Amino acid sequence: MPLLILSIIQAALLAAGQVLLKLALRAAGTFNWSVGFFVSQLTNWWWLACGLSFCGAGILWMYILRNYPFSQAYPLSSLAYVFGMMAALWIFDEHISITAWIGVLLIMAGCYLVSR
Which residues in the chain belong to E strands, given as ranges?
none
pTM, 2 dp: 0.86
Rg (CA), the chain: 17
Report pLDDT for 74: 92
pLDDT value, residue 96: 93
The tens place of each residue's pLDDT in the chain, 116 residues long, gives 699 999 999 999 999 999 999 999 888 878 888 887 888 888 889 999 999 999 999 999 999 999 999 999 999 999 999 999 999 999 999 999 999 999 999 999 998 898 88
Alpha carbon of 110 to those of 42, 67, 74, 86: distances in Å? 41, 21, 12, 18
- Neighbouring CB atoms inside 10 A of 1's CB total 6
Residue type, 79: L
Domain ranges of the chain: 2-115
Nearest to 88 by CA among 23, 27, 10: 23
pLDDT at 23: 93
- For residues 34 and 79, what is the distance between their CA atoms, to the nearest angstrom? 39
Query: What pLDDT is attached to residue 37?
Result: 83
Measured distance CA(50)–CA(87) in Å, rounded: 15
Q: What is the pLDDT of residue 85?
A: 94
Nearest to 52 by CA among 25, 16, 8: 16
Whole-angstrom Cα distance, residue 24 to residue 19?
9
